[in-house]
Each structure stands twice: as structure tokens, then as C-alpha cells.
A and B are shown apart, each in its own frame.
Chain A
Amino acid sequence: MTFIFSGSDGIYTGTSINIKPIHTENCVIQIKSTLKTAGWLVMGSGDGNGAFATSSIFGTSASDQLTTTGTGTVAGTFKAGSMTNGRSWFVLQQTASSGSWCMQNLGQVVGSGVLGSTSWRIKYSSRGFLMSTSTTSRTPSTIMAVSGIIDEMVLIGAGTDASPTAGTCFSSDAITFANCVADDSAPFGWYYAGIHSSSNRCETAILYDPLAVTGSGEVDPYAIFCRDEANGGTDAWFRILDNAGTTGPRAFIGPLTPYQRSNSQCCAMRYSTTETNEAPPTIPAGLGTNPFTGFEDIFPIVWAVDTRAFALNPIGTVAGTVAVGMLNGYKGVSTMSRWLANSKSYGDTITGSNLNLPAGATSRMILASSLANLAMPWSGTVVST
């Protein structure tokens, strides 16, 4: 596995970190290119207005129809193959476990396009999407849809594929430093951090964190997180601690069997000692600098579903049918995200630590100002602020 920091899919070629895309659609095109370069396959895409291609053969990509951004020559109109078009969409799938991401631009209605969309619908499926249900302007449904147990989670926006509603994601044009980092082989972890250039706060955070040391039988060993704070008072990454609200990370828990699946709120756990449940907790930020090396100690993040999440939304039977709800308990240990022993500042990088850097990365970056104990693989370059 090697982490990469650029994309080169023939549509976007260049760095995927430390840059301010001129429009939000360019940011999304950049993410798509980075993931394609890392090995993800475009299994389907539509420009919302005619262009449309899908593949239903696992491991074989479709032709990527979204090759550009921008509008037609008349302002507000669509442009062939443009990510700016209303209802344009694409699905990316990795071949290690078939996990798939689907992103759709809902900034405009079909036939229209305006640059700078911050209205999106983003969803994830552990098993992939049913491409035959899609059209040029309609995203595909999940493969498994049995009596209310569905193998997808809508992370941004809501509604249905036929009648989607948007949620806010990605910052306004040219004010965000876009950073997309991806592992180019299994298990294909990646993250995106959109950092507002004036506040240095992460507005948009997306995480696809592969997990190790999972419980036996886990078939989708990933923590999934997508959050936009629209430059509000909270750093988007801070929400990875949310164990019971609706803003936190998620994970599928359970096998791919009808009625036995849970799309659960899955938070990043902190560690403590037994004598006191101190604040801040021992990990992160309670251990200090390693006295023998002078370096930071870093720690793998443990992901779990708190009992409170389960209490708020338990899995159970509703009118004789098993309803979607939370399964609680332990999920796994992060292979990409790390806690720090000391709080740092956003944009700081560390090169020396107790655990090895993943291949391709030459440092770790602290990417949240209000959760300054979170570090991700980084290229070693200075973080643009």
C-alpha cells in the first residue's frame, strides 16, 4: 500500500493537496481523479442530461462521463459531461471489498447548471450499487433492499434516488484548501479535508478508514464519515467523537444477511485509566512527549458504537418486521487515523513517532483545529493555510 497525493485520470491531473479549486465541482473532480488514480473504478456516471454509462461487472469500470466542469454557453444551462450539471452523479468502487461511494450534484434541476454547488447527496454502500436502476440523472439504488434493511447509508442529503434532497457539502468557490489523500491498494483507505482558508477550520471532512483487529465475521471493516460544517463553530473532524447524535461516523455492523444488518453510529473512542476518568482523557493528549525519544507517541484509534447510540435507536421489530437500527459494541482499530499524545495545531506535521508511517507518506498532518489530536498520513510538504 502506498498513499498518493495527486490524481492523474486524464480529466484532472495534478496535486490533490494544498490547492484551492476554483469551483466546488473542480474539488469533486479532483477527488474522483485521486481515487481513480488510487485504483477505484467508476462503475457508473451520468451528466444529468443525456450522457450516461454504467458497468455491472465487478472489477470492470464504465466509461467516466464526467469529464469537465462548467456550464453551457448560456449561463445557467447544462454542459455535456459536466460535473456542474444539476443531477450529475458518479459511483466509485474499490475492488478489495466492493465498498462504493456515490456522489450527486443537486445544486440545480435537470437541464441546468451553475458553478459553485454546495448542494450534494453522498451515500455509501458496502456491497456496491445496482447500476440498472440508474439513469443519467438518477443515482443507482443499493444492491440489497430487503424489507427495510438496505445496504447503503446516505451521508449527505436525504430523500430517495428518485427524489433526492440535498445537504450542504464542500465550501464555496475558491476559499477552501482541498486535500485528498488515498491509499493506492487494498484496503483503499482515503480521506478528504476541506480547510477554510480564512478560518483554518475544516469545513468538509470525509473519511474511509480501513480497520484491523475487527470482530470475527465482519465483512465491511471500515469506519465511514462525511460531515460538512459550513464554516460553522465546529470543526467537521470534531464530529468523529459523536457517539449518539446524527453527525458522527458510521459503520456497517453485521454480515450481509437480510434482517441482520445495522448502519450504526460509530465513534472514535478515547482511552482512560481506571482511577479517574480524566478530562482530557489519557489518549489522546494525556501522555506527553515520549521521554526516551523526544518524539510524539501516536495511537491507533479504536472505533465502536456506544451503548447510548443503541439506546437512542435500537435495532428491533416494528410491526413484525425487523427495523434498521443500531447494533452497538466494538468495530475495529484504525489503520489510517491516529491519535496524538499531545495536542498540536492545525497544519502541524510530525515526522517522528513511535509507529511507522505508511508507505508513501513522509509525515502526519494535524488536520483539525478543534480536535488537535488527530493525525492523518501526509506528504511531508508544508500545509497551506
Chain B
Amino acid sequence: MTFLFVATSSFITSSAANFVPVSGAVEGMFKFKELLKTAGWVVTASSDGVVSFSTSSDIITTYTGVLVSGTAITGSLGNKSAWFVMASPSNPSGNGTDRQFWSFQRDSTNNGTNFETWRIKYSADMFDNLTASLTSSPGPPNGATVSQSIMLGGGTDAAPTFAVGFRTSGNMRWNSAANNASPYEWYTICTEFTAYQPVTMIMHDAMLTGSWPDSGTFPTQFDQSPYCTMVSYFAAATDATVNLQSSTLGPFTWFRKGTNFVAQGSGILRLQGLKYMGTNAGNTTLTNAIWPSSGTTIQSRPGLNSEALLPIPYGRRVALLGAATGYKGLSNMMKYPAAPRTNGSTYNGVMTSTGSKDGIKFGLLVFPWNGQSYLY
């Protein structure tokens, strides 16, 4: 598996990480789209919102143009109501797992403005392109809304409402990365310029091989959707990654076990990234959670390439989350840091044992990184 940070397509060749998008989120999301395509994802439907749309291909070829004229430009993501649907390669984790879908739609107000306002959906089933139109992104098949989650914004596909998910143009540093092999996970993190807080976090995480029920002895418990997804944004200078641990604002998953996903599954609902607890010296009394921690200094490992990072377990517990409880798996993409470090700090040895600056800390989490120093 290799995490990519550069989008290379027939539309553009550009870094998708560690840059300030002059044209704001439309530039960032366009490069994000091209990066995912470079990594193997497919645009299954798209619309420029004003001129044309397609239920089979990517017609969004640019994000520029509207800035000059303020009017609609064919094929521009800057047009109002432009949208696109990304689908992972079939059997993204192998072994019969479900294909993954995301839908991204621009604000419907004006061409060339409100670049930071979007509607974002996720589906672990599919989107039905027959329900799509020039200004309406496709909905779930047979109206089965249980199979999709509106991650940002609201309303319906026919009457969508939008929400701010990004800082305005020139006021954030954009970072997208995508794995070009199974299980094809990716993330987008946008940091602002005050303490470099990650105020936007969009991620498509997968479960670590071996940490989820993938086959074998108990095939009836096979998890067809070993993924965890999240869109988190804070208008204030607040760390958006903290929502990973929230039972009310946390990530989404199709929390199901078994092959009959309708009968045995939960539909898409929230789960949490769990943290670790210690005990006192007498090992009888639980103490507060100790990792990740905001105030504990962890000694680095002498001789090791980097400090050891902790795996992130996903689960749903009884007390807060009702009946659909249990364990999901361990994150394949992210880690908890072992010590407090500033946003943009890099790590060695994260993706490979000899990797240099191949991990980066944003908020609570450590993500794959491209070897660069973070630009502040």
C-alpha cells in the first residue's frame, strides 16, 4: 500500500497536500477528487450544476473560470450545485466487502461564491444514479435512507441544504492523502493559521486486517463494510479530530455483522474511537484514560526510528449508543500519538520501518504523510 499525495490525471497534476488553496474549498476538493481517482477511486456520476451532468463519468474538469466571470462555466466545480460521486474500486478490502460511495455537492446559491459550503453524503451500499439530475445528487437505492448518511448539510437530494465545512479561500492549509491499494482509505485535513488547528477533518478509514471479522470460522459474522467515516468541522479554532471519540458527533459506520445486511445490520450509525485506561499501582482501581493524553510526556524510544504510536480501536458501547453495540476493529490508517506534540509535527517509521517523516500529527491523531516538513 502506498499513500499518494499528488493528483495525476488528465485534468491536473498537482500536490494535494501541504498547500493553501487560493480558490478555497473548490480548489481543494477538485484536487482531492483527482487524487482519489489517481488512487483508484472512480467518479460514477457528476454534474457541473448548471450546464450538464453525467451518470457514468466525470465531467468536472476544472475549478477555475467562475472566479473571473462570476457566471457558470462548463465543467467547473465552482458552479453552484455542482456535485460528484466517488466510488471505491469493487471489493475494496477484498473478500466480498462492499463498495464504498461518497457524494459531494457544492452550495446552490451562486456561481463562484460560498466555496466553503457543501453537502456531503456517505453510503456503504450505493447511490442510485437514476435519481440524479443537474442539481440533485443521487439518492440511495429504493429510497432506503438507512444505507446512507448525510455527513454535512441536510435536507433531501431534491431540496438539499448546505453547511460550512471549510475555511474561506486563503485561510486554510489543505492536506489530502489516499491509499492506492486495498483498502483504499483516505483523509482530508485542513488546518487554520491559529495554532494550526485541524478545523476540517474528512476521512474514510478502514479496519486493520485481522482486527475485524473477515472470513473463516464464523462466516455468518463477516463484516461486509469494515470502514469508518467522518466529516468534522469547527468554525472556532477548535480541533475537529476530537469528534473521533464522541458518541454523538463521532464517525459513522455500517455497524452490521453477517451477510444479510438488511436483516442483521444496523444501518449507518455512529461509533467511537476508544481510548485506553490504566489502573492504579494496586491494579484494583481504574484511573482516567491515559492515551491519548494532553499532558503526559512519553519518553521517546532510544534507538527506535520513532516513538511508538498506539492503534485506535473502534466500538460502540451499551450505555450511550443503544442496542447496536460491539467492536468494529482497529484503524488501518490512523494512530494515537504517545505524547503531546504540536500540530504538523512529523514522525519517522510510521508507514515503513525506515520511513522519514511518513507520519504527521493533526489534533488527536497521526496520519500517513509525504516526507515533507509541514509548512506553517
Write the residues of chain A forming the contact surface with B, with a CB cutoff of 8 angstroms. 212-218, 238-239, 241-245, 247-248, 253-255, 257, 259-260, 267, 269-283, 286-288, 290-293, 295, 297-300, 302, 304, 306-308, 310, 312, 314-315, 327-331, 333, 341, 352-357
Contact = CB atoms under 8 A, between A and B. Distances in A.
A293 to B, nearest CB: 5
B257 A292 contact: yes
B216 A356 contact: yes
13 contacts: A216-B304, A241-B283, A245-B282, A269-B276, A271-B275, A277-B289, A282-B315, A293-B258, A330-B291, A354-B218, A355-B212, A356-B217, A356-B218
A257 B264 CA distance: 52
B99 interface: no
B334 to A, nearest CB: 13
B302 A254 contact: yes
Interface stretch (B67-75, B172-180, B324-332): B324-332
Interface string B240-251: 001001110000
Contact of A295 (B218, B287, B299, B308): B218
A304 B310 contact: yes
B208 interface: yes
B281 to A, nearest CB: 4
A326 B337 CA distance: 19
Interface in B224-278: 242, 245-247, 256-258, 264-266, 272, 274-278
A290 B256 CA distance: 10
Contacts of B272: 273-274
B217 A243 contact: no
A281 B319 CA distance: 11
Given A216-B305, A216-B349, A356-B213, A274 B246 contact: yes
Given A271-B277, A354-B326, A215 B286 contact: no
B353 A217 contact: yes
Chain A at the B interface: SS class: loop
Contact of A287 (B297, B327, B348): B327
| Best-surrounded residue of A244, A270, A287, A292 (most CB of chain B within 10 A) | A292
Interface of B: 208, 210-213, 215-218, 220-221, 223, 242, 245-247, 256-258, 264-266, 272, 274-283, 286-291, 293, 296-299, 301-311, 313, 315-320, 323-327, 330, 338, 348-350, 352-353, 355
A253 B302 CA distance: 9
Nearest to B311: A213
A333 B298 contact: no
B325 A274 contact: no
- Give the top 4 A-B pairs by smallest Cβ distance, nearest first: A215-B308, A216-B349, A274-B245, A217-B304
Contacts of B220: 293
A270 B325 contact: no
B326 A287 contact: yes
A244 B281 contact: yes
A273 B310 contact: no
Given A307-B296, A355-B213, A356-B217, A267 B279 contact: yes
A236 to B, nearest CB: 12
A302 B311 contact: yes
Given A216-B306, A354-B326, A287 B218 contact: no
A306 B287 CA distance: 11
A354 B221 contact: yes
Contacts of A329: 298-299, 301, 307-308, 338
Given A212-B210, A299-B313, A356-B217, A238 B275 contact: no
Contacts of B265: 292
| Best-surrounded residue of A248, A283, A315, A357 (most CB of chain B within 10 A) | A283
Contacts of A357: 217
B286 A277 contact: yes
A300 B328 CA distance: 11
